[in-house]
Amino acid sequence: MKDNSRDQNFFDRVYEVAKLIPYGRVTSYGAIAKYLGAARSARMVGWAMNASGKQEDIPAHRVVNRKGVLTGKHHFQGTNLMQQLLENEGIEVIDNQIQDLDTLFWDPMKEL
């Protein structure tokens, strides 16, 4: 057990923020990373999401890249599961890209 303080915290932070994403809304990795104070570690947020498979309450499908593209849909179980989940929340997704992103985008820095 060395010092699990920082790492564990980072992952947990990401999970908590992901859980805080409102229904029918989406955000970007960079936004979460920035909110956590690791704006330059957007990739790490994605990595945390990858590990989120251990957590069932993590709506990773609400997290997309800055373009609103479902870059991580490939990591979901189903081929189009991510899109299905988003559409289920009333989010229109075309060609792996979220439509009307401006309205659906949820910025933790701005909302929290």
Positions that interact with DNA (CB under 7 A): 7, 10-11, 28-31, 38, 40-47, 49-50, 52-53, 60-61, 63, 65-67, 71-72, 74-76, 82
The residue among 7 and 90 lying less far from DNA, judged by its C-beta, is: 7
Give the dihedral sign, CA 27/43/109/57.
positive
Whole-number minimum distance, CB 33 to DNA, in Å?
7
The one-character DSSP state at 61 is: G
Are 28 and 63 in contact, with CB atoms under 8 Å apart?
yes
The one-character DSSP state at 77 is: S
Whole-number minimum distance, CB 51 to DNA, in Å?
8
